[in-house]
């Protein structure tokens, strides 16, 4: 405030509202709960010190100002339940509202550990890459008292269906382990254009993630890519289209979309890996066939072990109404 002395009283009154409001600075002693245990100290500090630059967080860690149980630790230390963390005085920026409107989605399951929703197509799961906010930000805005709410996995913006969120860190860790070990069973409904022949077909093509020139995240089949495996089952034919169930054996980014595209079958409405000319045709009605303006990919079933009870859980999300209507407008063949 001393810098204001060189201004007149009126000038000082004009400048005063522009100056940052000082945040109280004091040492905090925080006891780590069961749900906070298991995370690295740097990630814990980044979460609780909103608005503090990363560089400053790592600086106080290196300086030894952060203590756990009165001892020095490095940034890789993993917190344990009951640890007492000394957080030094840091200037925290005033909380900036995310701007995300609170929203709720169709709930398939909710208990003290999990929240499972049926995500509509066209909604991102989180903000970023030109998207101001997504499902997670909207749910947090609508549940301001929720102590913990994190995405267990992701769905593409244009994919609808089952999305798992954890309400406890222990549930998040448990479900991540299940997915990493391949014990979860995730299945999707997908409509492709083309003469699909096999009633059951395995596609094993290695996938490589890269960033296109325009900054967009993309995936392609590449020999040195990550091993990827999808099993497709034919459910029914609809004229030149086939409705398939896709069973993920691995969980790579855009796996279903790239496996089908590389095999010569475009997903109806896929604007990244699909048939762009076909998509333009589908956006306009033609005779009995109605217009279709989304990607036909829907996460319709998941089976996992409940992180608290240890019992198997199978959840299903019905096919979206717009997909049902589109199928009904197509010439249907007998069920496969």
Quick: pLDDT tens for 5-44: 444 444 444 333 333 334 446 888 889 887 778 888 988 8
Give yes or no: residues 136 and 222 share one domain. Answer: yes
> 116-171 pLDDT, tens per residue?
999 999 999 987 666 778 899 999 989 988 888 999 999 999 999 999 999 998 99
SS3 content of the chain, % helix, strand, coil (to 5): 25, 30, 50
Please state, in angstroms and rounded to a whole number, the distance separating the CA atoms of residues 36 and 55. Answer: 23
Please state, in angstroms and rounded to a whole number, the distance separating the CA atoms of residues 136 and 74. Answer: 31
- Work out the number of other CB atoms within 10 angstroms of the CB of residue 299: 25
From 57-61, 98-102, 311-315, the region with the lowest mean pLDDT: 98-102
Give yes or no: residues 149 and 256 share one domain. Answer: yes
Coil, helix or strand at residue 69 = coil
Looking at residue 270, which CATH number applies to its domain? 3.30.2350.10
Give yes or no: residues 123 and 90 share one domain. Answer: no
State yes or no: is 3 an active-site residue.
no
Catalytic residue among 3, 74, 83, 156: 156
Q: What's the whole-number mean pLDDT along residues 59-77?
A: 90
What contacts 24+ positions apart, CB below 8 Å, involve 90-96? 90/25, 90/49, 90/52, 90/56, 90/60, 91/22, 91/23, 91/25, 91/52, 92/23, 92/49, 92/50, 92/51, 92/52, 93/50, 93/51, 93/52, 94/21, 94/23, 94/51, 95/50, 95/51, 96/51
pLDDT classification of 98: cutoffs 50, 70, 90: low
Give yes or no: residues 70 and 111 share one domain. Answer: no
Please state, in angstroms and rounded to a whole number, the distance separating the CA atoms of residues 285 and 291. Answer: 4
Give yes or no: residues 59 and 153 share one domain. Answer: no
> 275-319 pLDDT, tens per residue?
999 999 999 999 999 999 999 999 999 999 999 999 999 999 999
Give yes or no: residues 206 and 297 share one domain. Answer: yes
Quick check: 46 pLDDT over 70?
A: yes
Give yes or no: residues 134 and 45 share one domain. Answer: no
Give yes or no: residues 191 and 291 share one domain. Answer: yes
Beta-bridge mates of residue 232: 201, 246
Please state, in angstroms and rounded to a whole number, the distance separating the CA atoms of residues 302 and 180. Answer: 15
Give yes or no: residues 78 and 212 share one domain. Answer: no
Give yes or no: residues 127 and 73 share one domain. Answer: no
Looking at residue 88, which CATH number applies to its domain? 3.10.290.10
Tell whether 4 is covered by a domain: no
Please state, in angstroms and rounded to a whole number, the distance separating the CA atoms of residues 180 and 170. Answer: 15
Coil, helix or strand at residue 21 = coil
Tell whether 11 is covered by a domain: no
Structural domains of the chain, count: 2
pTM above 0.85, yes or no: no
> 177-209 pLDDT, tens per residue?
999 999 999 999 999 999 999 999 999 999 999
- Boundary residue ending a domain (44, 77, 96): 96
- Boundary residue ending a domain (58, 73, 96): 96
Give yes or no: residues 63 and 195 share one domain. Answer: no
Tell whether 334 is covered by a domain: no
Tell whether 13 is covered by a domain: no
- Boundary residue ending a domain (96, 120, 142): 96
Tell whether 2 is covered by a domain: no
Range of the domain at 317: 106-328
Phi-psi region of 300 (alpha: psi -120 to 50; beta: other; left: phi over 0): alpha
Tell whether 310 is covered by a domain: yes
> 216-230 pLDDT, tens per residue?
889 999 999 999 999
pLDDT classification of 51: cutoffs 50, 70, 90: low
Give yes or no: residues 116 and 89 share one domain. Answer: no
């Amino acid at each position: 405030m001393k810098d204001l002395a060189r201004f007149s009283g009126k000038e000082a009154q004009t400048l005063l509202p522009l100056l940052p409001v000082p945040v109280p600075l004091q040492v905090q002693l925080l006891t780590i709960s069961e749900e906070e245990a298991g995370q690295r100290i740097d990630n814990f500090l980044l979460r609780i010190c909103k608005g503090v630059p990363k560089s400053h967080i790592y600086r106080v860690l290196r300086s030894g100002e952060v203590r756990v149980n009165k001892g020095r630790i490095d940034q890789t230390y993993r917190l344990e339940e009951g640890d007492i963390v000394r957080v030094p005085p840091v200037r925290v920026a005033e909380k900036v509202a995310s701007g995300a409107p609170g929203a709720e989605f169709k709930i398939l399951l909710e208990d003290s550990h999990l929240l499972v929703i049926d995500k509509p197509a066209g909604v991102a799961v989180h903000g970023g890459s030109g998207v101001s906010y997504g499902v997670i930000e909207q749910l947090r805005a609508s549940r301001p008292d929720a102590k913990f709410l994190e995405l267990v996995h992701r769905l593409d913006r244009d994919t609808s269906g089952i999305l798992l969120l954890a309400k406890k860190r222990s549930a998040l860790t448990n479900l991540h382990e299940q997915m990493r070990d391949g014990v979860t069973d995730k299945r999707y409904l997908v409509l492709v254009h083309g003469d699909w022949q096999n009633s059951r077909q395995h596609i094993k093509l290695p996938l490589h993630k890269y960033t296109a020139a325009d900054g967009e995240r993309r995936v392609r089949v590449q020999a040195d890519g990550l091993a990827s495996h999808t099993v497709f089952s034919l459910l029914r034919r609809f004229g030149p289209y086939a409705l398939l169930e896709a069973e993920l054996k691995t969980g790579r980014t855009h796996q279903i979309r790239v496996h089908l595209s590389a095999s010569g079958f475009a997903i109806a409405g896929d604007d990244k890996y699909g048939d762009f000319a076909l998509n333009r045709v589908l956006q306009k009605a033609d005779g009995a066939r109605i217009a279709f303006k989304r990607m036909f990919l829907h996460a319709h079933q998941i089976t996992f072990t409940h992180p608290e009870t240890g019992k198997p859980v199978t959840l299903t999300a019905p096919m979206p109404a717009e997909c049902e209507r589109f199928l009904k407008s197509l010439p249907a063949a007998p069920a496969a």
